[in-house]
Amino acid sequence: MEKRDVAVLGVGQTKFGHHPDKSLIDLFAEAFYEAFNESNIELKDIQAIYYGNFVGEMTDGSANLSGFISDEIGLKGIPARRYEAACASSSVAFREAYLAVAHGIYDCVAVGGSERLYNAGTAIGTRALATAVDGLHEMTAGLTFPGVFALAARLYAKKYEIPMEKLHEKMAHVSIKNHKYGAINPKAQFYNKFGDLKVEDVLNSKVICSPLTLFDCCPMTDGGSAAIIASADFAEDVIDNPVYVLGTGQSGAGGLFRQKEDMIKAIPRKISVEMAYKEAKVTPKDIDFVEIHDCFTIAEIIASEAMGFFEYGKGADAVEEGETWVGGSIPINPDGGLIGKGHPVGATGTSQVYAAVKQLRNEFKYNQVKDAEICITDTLGGDFGTLVNIILGIHRRK
């Protein structure tokens, strides 16, 4: 059964930060209407909703949100689904929406996500985030996410024989870069903040879970993001600037104790990204920039390796040497990433799509990557429980 090309009609994203007065539904709706308003379609063209949220039941007492969302945005009664895949929730939703349109289940759908972790506070937020690891063996042993990635950093230092202090200096450049880019992005949580960090600022910030310090970590964030996608033929009829979905991949893994040293090689990411490259008929060399899941500085480094941009063990050097900055060989997170822009978990995946689409349309005036034609996004749910990659481009798949 043939599949057809799919394109993004419009994208939306709320300001990331603290939204005490907006519900999960409000945040999705705000992002949805931004996406809808640039899509040049009527509301009735939208046949279904794909929504990602991680822990609305814990932060807001709100599960089962799909029906409420369709009601709120004026599409009462249409089929709406909620996906939960920790930080990859709206990336899974986006991929499912893409598959549904590509295979003719629908012609035009809305996708997005929202989350309120800042508003939940650090205690509830940390408890909620910890449910994305193995609830039975890892969380009960006290493992939360800074712990997972502190382990990753130590494993990386050991395996590639880099002294931990030296590695931390290299990691600091991820924070410096992403904060610099977040500080110039008006929708970022840290807009106008931390734009001039130095290595010592990162190393000397508060220890969260050694070796990780405060500036190694992304923040707790409230926010929403959305996209409208449709068949490429439909898209070309209604807008002048479709961005095409060239390929997607998804994989996952069980608990850390089964991953062992594979953890820093991120095997599920390898499976997912190769699935996406294969479908898109591209290689890492064809990619012009990347949206990577930098929940912690070390996370961006190991992702850049598993995605094929650097050899294993060389990603930390690459950021220090400027390869992943705008102007370098493969710019990563020109929107500030999770560290600079913020990480409203269920909204993060489609906010990467938002940033990618704006760049590919040459509309990302704050930090435009020149002549960008193809982008890959990468979203990590939990400690490799879910991995999703999405490849977007300005031309149809060959």
Active site residue ranges: 87, 343
Task: Find residue 114's DSSP bridge partners.
Answer: 224
206 is a site residue for a copy of itself (CB under 8 A): no
Please list every residue from 143 through 182 that binds a copy of itself, using CB under 8 A: none
**What φ, ψ does residue 261 adopt, rounded to 5°?**
-70, -20
User: Taking CB under 8 A as the rule, does residue 132 contact a copy of itself?
Assistant: yes
Q: Site for a copy of itself (CB under 8 A): which residue of 16, 32, 83, 190?
A: 83
The answer to whether the beta carbons of residues 340 and 80 sit under 8 Å apart is no
Instruction: Show Cβ contacts of residue 37 under 8 Å, excluding neighbours closer than 6 positions.
Output: 10, 12
Please say which residue, 55 or 316, places its beta carbon nearer to a copy of itself. Answer: 55
Give least dist CB 120 to a copy of itself, A.
13
Of the residues 47, 67, 184, 368, which one makes contact with a copy of itself according to CB under 8 A: 67
Q: Which two tokens stand for residue 211?
A: 């070796």
* Between 230 and 372, CB nearer to a copy of itself: 230
For position 57 contacting a copy of itself by CB under 8 A, the verdict is: yes
DSSP result, 68-127 = HHHHHTT-TTS-EEEE-BTBTHHHHHHHHHHHHHHTTS-SEEEEEEEEESTTT-HHHHHH
- Residue 309 makes CB contacts below 8 A (sequence gap 6+) with 284, 287, 290, 315, 318, 324, 330
Rounded to 5 degrees, φ, ψ at 226 are -160, 160
How many CB atoms lie under 10 A from the CB of residue 366? 17
Is residue 55 near a copy of itself by the rule CB under 8 A? yes
Select the span of 124-132, 214-222, 290-298, 354-362 touching a copy of itself (CB under 8 A): 124-132
Residues 337-356 contacting a copy of itself, CB under 8 A: none
Supply the minimum distance, in Å, between the C-beta of residue 296 and a copy of itself.
17
Report if residue 128 touches a copy of itself, rule: CB under 8 A: yes
Instruction: Report yes or no: 180 and 367 within 8 Å, Cβ to Cβ.
Output: no
Looking at beta carbons only, is 63 or 207 nearer to a copy of itself?
A: 63
Strand runs labelled E in the chain: 6-13, 49-52, 80-83, 108-116, 207-209, 212-213, 222-231, 243-251, 289-291, 374-381, 386-393
Q: Which stretch binds a copy of itself (CB under 8 A): 60-68, 161-169, 214-222, 283-291?
A: 60-68
Binding mask 249-288 for a copy of itself (x = CB under 8 A): -xxxxxx--x--------xx--x-----------------
The 3-state DSSP class for residue 354 equals: helix
Number of residues located near a copy of itself, criterion CB under 8 A:
66
Which residues of this protein are in contact with a copy of itself, per CB under 8 A? Answer: 1-4, 23, 25, 54-58, 60-68, 70-72, 76-86, 92, 96, 99-100, 103-105, 128, 130-136, 139-140, 250-255, 258, 267-268, 271, 381-382, 384-386
